[in-house]
Amino acid sequence: MKIKSHALVLKTTIFKESSLIIRLFTREKGKSTYIVKAAMRQKSPNKAIYQQLNEVEINYTHHPKKQIHPVYSVKLINDWDNICGDLKKTVLCTSMLEIIDKSYDEEIPDTKTYDTLQSVMLYFDHNNKNLNNAFYYFILHFLKNSGYDILSAKKHPIILRFQQKNPNLLNDLNLIFNLDLNGMHKSKNIPNYERKIMTRFMSELVRYHFPDVKSFKVAKDLFS
């Protein structure tokens, strides 16, 4: 069956010198693995398309009984120039992709998470302020889409501990969860003291739920 899909590049591996094995997060099929033959040949015009973070449109043949599907055409949708030229944006986006890569099995569709991720990356690509809040927005929505609503988990050990430092923690979390990314500048500001506590809280929350995400070890140093 031939399928066309938008996707974000999670990881790329060279295969037999001239081909690529690419792992993508697609809107329709979730995380899936593909092979692009001859992608690394010297005359191939599409080498740069398969870089991590890129958003692409792929046409491929889906084989239900196979784990790797052949791609027969690809088109670059967005290479996120304003993300890749900024260290903090790049690391935060890489962390989001790594969270998805390590949290999902193959071919489990999650259109809500795809749309949330794409919206946050679009925000990063067009804005330079409130990057932390946009990243927190993704984490809270990802957890909820994965079946863990942190806003309802009042007995979560990290929430209980940080509420002692900031009694308004759940209110602040709700504020971030309900952010309008297109109108972030109009959003109510979290007081500076509470924002610092939120930064520490979110760092621990990510480490608690996603302990194997290596890129976050770099990202947490960029939160301040």
The pLDDT profile of the chain, 224 residues, written as one tens digit per residue, is 788 889 999 998 888 877 889 999 999 889 999 988 876 766 666 667 888 999 999 988 887 778 888 888 889 999 999 998 899 999 999 999 999 999 988 888 899 999 999 999 999 999 998 898 999 999 999 999 988 888 888 888 899 999 999 999 999 999 999 999 887 766 667 888 888 898 889 888 888 888 888 887 766 666 65
Pick from 134, 136, 137, 116: which is nearest to 126 by CA? 134
Q: Strand 55-61 and strand 68-78: pairing?
A: antiparallel
pLDDT at 224: 54
pLDDT at 177: 93
Query: What is the amino acid identity at position 217?
Result: K
The CATH homologous superfamily for domain 2-78 is Nucleic acid-binding proteins (2.40.50.140)
b/e code 117-145 from CB counts within 10 Å (16+ = b): bbbbbbbbbeeeebbbbbbbbbbbbbbbb
Q: Strand 55-61 and strand 30-36: pairing?
A: unpaired
- CA–CA distance from 147 to each of 2, 164, 217 (Å)? 31, 26, 25
Sequence-distant (6+) residues with CB within 8 A of 83 are 53, 89, 90, 93, 121, 124, 125
Domain with CATH 2.40.50.140 in the chain: 2-78
